[in-house]
Structure 1
Amino acid sequence: MMSEEKELYATGLTKVNDIYFPMIQGQLDGNGINMDGYAKQCVLAALSAINNVLVTSGINWNDESLDKNNITQNLLTIASLRLNAAASPREVYFQKRRVKFKVDGKDVWKDQVEVGIEGDGNDAILSRFGRNVKEVKQFWEVRENDEFTYPGFNGIEMTPPTWQPKGTGRVIRVVYPIIKNDDSVDFYIAERADVIKNLLAHIKNNLMNETFGIAETRYKASVAQKKEIDMKKKELMDSLADHSIDEILDMPAVQGYISPAWKDPQSRESMIIRKMRNNVTKKIPKDFGNAFVQQQYAEQDDSYQRVRKEIVENANQEIIDVEYESVEYDPVVTEGKIIENDLVAKEVAKEVPTGTAPIEPVIQQETTTEQVIDKSVDPFR
């Protein structure tokens, strides 16, 4: 019985691979991207990871509620950025979400599989696409009790940072030594205190649907209720301004708006370190060499995803009727040409005396944007 289940599982996943592989390869070829052996391996690993998410959630690949376009988009991202879900540590993760769409004015819920880039995934992207990046060295986790000196500068000459690890205390900064193509070394530093920006953005995003009991939902709130809700949200966010990241994570008032990955003791430090790493790798310039690959990377940005989610949830909710008003006007004659409905022409129009011969129609000649340039004239003289 167990062997039959394994056979069915393998056969089902093989069929899924046969369906998605040609589709992904065709779209990449159409965008000028070669799907090499490693990219195919990344897609296989992603399909296996997505399948595990679906099986755990009791969802079948053939279910109508499954958003297959979303899966195709995720696989295009994996293949173009060459991210490996089977790598250790992981470069990407997948999770299921229920997303509401508007179809013919009705709410339709779909199951989507969301892809997210882990810290090591951003390192891999930086190694492959970083502008003038030759090698990304192992990053430093600087702790509270370590001896650390920041880099110094004398003009364009840099004195490298120094670090003497002690191995105790919380990680308070992350340092990335990066070798450039000219063999020079740059040090990029992210501080623990700066991660508070990521946390506040996370809380603000989770406050999106909060009404504080003022209205049933934010969609049904009146204009006055929306203003009151916005004031409540602002008061809550303002109350966090003077607190550290660890203080905010322990505040009872915001526990309902922080995910377990942030606030649980066993995962809090890992999340903060991951955000510090992301804050370094994302700000380093990258050259993808292809607009399609660049778009796939941009769509993984947190702010982009928040805006996209807002658009999906609120698009096509109101029908806007535009009333057109017909305007009657008389032709205006100016300098032998008939110009219709031109307010400026009315100011300069010349009166045509009675009995004047009819005006011949003006035939416009075809024109081009080509210009004849006299190269003998120096425009910078």
Structure 2
Amino acid sequence: MGHTSGCALLLCALLLACAGLSDGRQLYQAPLTPLQKVQAGYFNNTALFAHMREFASRCSSIARLTQIGKSVKGEPLLVLELSNKPGQEEAKPNFIYIANMHGTEPGGRQLLLTLAEWLCASYPKDATAQRIIDGMHLYLMPTMNPDGYTEDLYENINFVNLNRDFPDPVQRKGKGLTASGKEQPETTAVMNFFLSRPFTAAANMHEGAFVANYPYDGTPSGNTAYNPTPDDGTFRFLARTYASRHVMMANSTEFPGGITNGAAWYPIYGGMQDWTYLSTGTFQITLELWDIKGTAPPRTLWAQNRAPMTQYALWSTLGGLRGSVRRRGTLAPLEARITVGASSTVTRTTKRFGDFYRPLAPSNTPYLVRVAVPALNWTQSFNVTVPYTGRGALLNVIVP
């Protein structure tokens, strides 16, 4: 063999090796990006918590990690807050996604981590990411039931279904919706978190179907029947906001339009969405994101839910009615109560800023909005039209 031929063969072998073709092995593979990593498979609890802590450090300009409690077995219940001013109280709405309430429904774990990574990577170059980060405080709780996930239990480790564990208006029979003291630690932590700040809207991620479910979940009779809230039109709109952007929900043959009233599907009692709505005024819906539990590929989940997740958060917080109530002259914030039409739902202004946020469906017909300041014995009504643009209606009230 001549020198030239030997060099040519050596060069060929080197090129094949570098290409990973000489023996079927890849010599070099670029490391996964954080966004790719959270879509590559499901994290166990140790990896999940470690990733959330690392994310909060890596994306610290827009992220803050909070522990709101512990599970029965002592696992931390962690929540990521995403905002351009994380940890600061501002005149902005609060929104939360909660996942893995049932241990055998893990899809939301990776989905919420993916949403967080996308927001960190996309802000501020993407307009949607920028509007979310700059316009609200977004909270993400990837697992409410870490013990159930580890033990492959639908319930928590005490065999309690956490979506039957909240104080229920039918079960309590006029005794109110405050904690009974018998709730599970995971339930208590979530209840306290909802009561700790004014959440405008929320969604709870489940698996077992493709549908967006809205309150009420139960009926006084216990029979399956449509049981609307006083804000049924707004809830139906919010559910459609998600479902219409989700390919499987939008094309559902089981649920027209991909939405259902909870009690019309099957009644439950002690559910989270009824409690948050009645106790805190939070407009929460339940999302069934995959038909066969525990089998959803994270990449597919993200592809199907990216647009619905971002748009639902925006429309539910900034697409309805928002504004402030202040005193003439000093512009001091006032504690006011806002009600709309015949609905019994009361939206309250914040003490520090006097701001408020109230989900409402767009309509060409004006809503009758009543603003009351009990301390001043002052009430006034306004006609407000909510546009179809997603930008909402603004009502800033100056009280004499």
TM-score above 0.5, yes or no: no
* TM-score between the two structures when normalised by the length of structure 2: 0.26
* TM-score between the two structures when normalised by the length of structure 1: 0.27
Query: Which structure shows the bigger proportion of residues in helix conformation?
Result: 1
More RCO (CA 8 Å, sep 6+): 2
